Structure formats: structure tokens, C-alpha cells
Structure 1
Amino acid sequence: MKRILLGMFAVVLAWSMGAARADEMVLGGGDVVKISVFGNPDLGVETRVSESGFITVPLVGQVAVGGLSSAAAEAKIASMLERGGFVKKPQVNLLITALTSQQVSVLGQVKNAGRYPIEGRRTVLDLLALAGGIGIDGGDIVTVVRTRDGKIYKEQVDTAELVRNTDMASNLDVQGGDTIFVERAPRFYIYGEVQRPGMLRLERQMTVLQALSAGGGLTPRGTERGLRIKRRDEFGKLQTIDVRGDDLLRPDDVVYVKESLF
């Protein structure tokens, strides 16, 4: 059910990304823009925004556009052309032809990892939708690394709870330079007298009995008596613990199913 809900979110959010308006984009270093002035073809230019946020416009010279939307940059250039006496009531059009400054990296267990441009206000779910959603081996917890005011912050988003409870407050906004990382889902291991021993996905609140079921059930020689788990403690020391069927598993637990003596 969680995968179906996330898939539905991906479709809706990917559509909304395509409907974003160009004037919501914020310009930054490395972006390429094409400027035209109606009725004045000689003033047309295609240029790259410098790392300090400036572009060079014919007649006007250096114009600071870093941090401005394309609409705000158009208004600023038009104002400078008119104040300088170059063009009366200029109609300026600024088209972003390459948006490189406002990109978010989506990495880890997603279908299409990469760098994605963001337009206007975007959230973690928006970017996961652009990346095709969480892959089959991905976990529910998504780590977001963000730089704000020169400081690096790391926050986590529980995508399953977010979708299940529609708690959009935890759907963090992202900005250019942020990184979203989807880790591999937690695993456990099972061996001994089960039908399918090996490494398996650990679901939430998974019990030992559910782990036996995930392993295909007991072999004819297996028994639920004397079940044991090998688990590392907080210091990394391996411990062997006797468990019951309703005990909960933890990531990287190793479940051992004994052979029946009778």
C-alpha cells in the first residue's frame, strides 16, 4: 500500500513540476539566459550569469541578477534601459536556457539518481517524484543535507509516515545545492531450518514469527522452540539472544532456527 501511495504522489507531483511557471525560477551563478528587447534586435544577447551574480547587457553594462526571478530581472533591465535614455518603455524578455545554479542532488535508492533543477518552491516529495520515486530496495527514511547561512544541516524525512498521515509539515522545502539521499532498506538475516535462508528486507515492527514467514516457513525438521538472534550491542560486540515469536527484530539481526530433536 505504501508503494502504491508513493507512486500516486510521484505522478501528481511530476505533473505539477512541469506546470511550474518560468518566472518562479531564481537566477544564480552558471545559469545561461537569453535576453531580447522588442523592436531592438541589436540589444539581444545570450550570456551566462557570473558566479558573483552579474550579467552584461548591451548599453547598460553589468546588471546584478543573482537571486532574482526571471520576471524581476526583466523589470530591472527594462528600468535601466529607460533610465539611461536608451529605449523608451522597453519590453524586455529574459529566457533561461540553462538552469544550473538551482539544482538538487537526489542519490541512493531511487529509480533515476541525478541532479534536478528546481523551479519555485519545491519539497522532498517533489524531487523524489522527479527521480522516479523510491526504488524497490529503498527504505522509508530519507536524509536531506542542506546548507543554510553557511551551516550544514542534516534532517530526516519519514516518507511512509508522511504519506500515511498526510503530515505535509514534515515534507521539507529544498533549495539549490541540497542533497537528498535514500538509503537501502534495513535488512535482517535468517538461517538454519527455514525454506529460504538468506538476507531479507526488514519491515516495520517485524516480529520473529513474521521473519520465519518471510523465510518461507520452517523445514520439516525445523522448530519454533529455542529461536535465537545474533545481535550487536551498542559497542559492536556480538551477542546471542533467546527470543520468542512475538519479539521484534532490529536491523542486521541474524535469526537462527534450530533443528527439532523429535
Structure 2
Amino acid sequence: MKRMQAVIAVIGLSMALATPAWCDEAAAPAEADAAPPATTISQDTYKIGVDDIVQVSVWRNPELGITVPVRPDGMISVPLVGDVLAGGRTPIQVASTIQKGLATYVRDPQVAVILTELRSHEYLSRVRVTGAVRQPISIPYRPGMTVLDAVLAAGGVTEFASANRSNLYRRNGDTTLPYPIKLDRILKRGDLSTNMNVAPGDVITIPERVL
């Protein structure tokens, strides 16, 4: 009897060792849906804004490193260098300026500027609806958002709106370009020919009728 129990124990152990890993995974409780990957901001192209937090590191000179917010004037204060313009520039450009400023004091300085908090990014990415709407608003941009989505989020137009004279304003380099929106046709006729996809930073303006 004892011999039979020993044989059964050995067989059970062998089966446990032979169980493939996928069986354990299948038996494990399902994890919650994985969160989508965080939106990444390119350090090469992202332009630093006011209130963004930047970390400046100098290789082999940790005492010169700082982590500071960008001031309202767009500047940051760096040890030995003083005020450096960060607003409107990329981290690589800021690092190059600091590196040149430190060259007087440090031999062959190697500087890295890293964004640790993108506080200004939220505002740069918003879409704004103004004029003859129920509630002028500033809303976060979402991929796929259209003019109609933004206007409905503002509660729709008022009875005084001249909806077909609406415009979407969009920055293009150093200029702002208007795009006519026939909002009355969108709302009343379902004509979506001017129901443009919006982009971060767009402003939609609905004027009032001239009495």
C-alpha cells in the first residue's frame, strides 16, 4: 500500500512539472485591460512652454543640475549661466545654449535638458469655441473631434447666432488662417461638407447676426 502511494505521488509530481506554462497563465485571473501607452512627446520637436518643469543635468557636475518650472517670461535660471530662454524652444536648443554658457567655467560641459512635467501642453492642445454659443468653452482636444462635436459641447448656438458665418481659426507657422464653416447647414440640414476635423489649438468662432 505504501509503495502504491509513493508511485502515485511520483506520478503527480511528474505531471505538475510537465504542465506547460500557458496552463498557469490561463488559470491565472485575467488582468484589467492594459492602459494605452502614454502619449510621448519628442524631445527634438516639442517646444517648451510656461510652467513646464525642466531638469538640467551637467555630466560630472551634479552641483550644477537643477529642476525648475519655466517662468512666465519663458526663462529659467541656471547656475553660473544665469537666465536662459526656454519658452518656445526645444530641450535640445536649450541644452546647447546652456552648454555654451558653461564652457567658460567647465571644461567640455555635457548638458542634458529633460522635460519632467508638461504643464503647458494641456493648454496648447485645447480647442476653444467662442461667440454666439450657449456656453463658450475650452475643451481638451481628442483625436477625431470635429467642429460639430466642439459646438455641441458648447451647448449649441444661440438664437442670435449667424451660424453660416462661423470660422475655424488655425495657426500655420507664424500666421493664423480662417476656414469658413457653414454651421447652420451642418446643424439643420446635416450637410457635413464643412464639418472639419479640428486640431489642437483651433478656435471656432460663431458671430451674432447683425440686427
TM-score, normalised relative to structure 2: 0.49
Higher strand share: 1
TM-score by length of 1: 0.41
Query: Highest CA radius of gyration, 1 or 2?
Result: 2
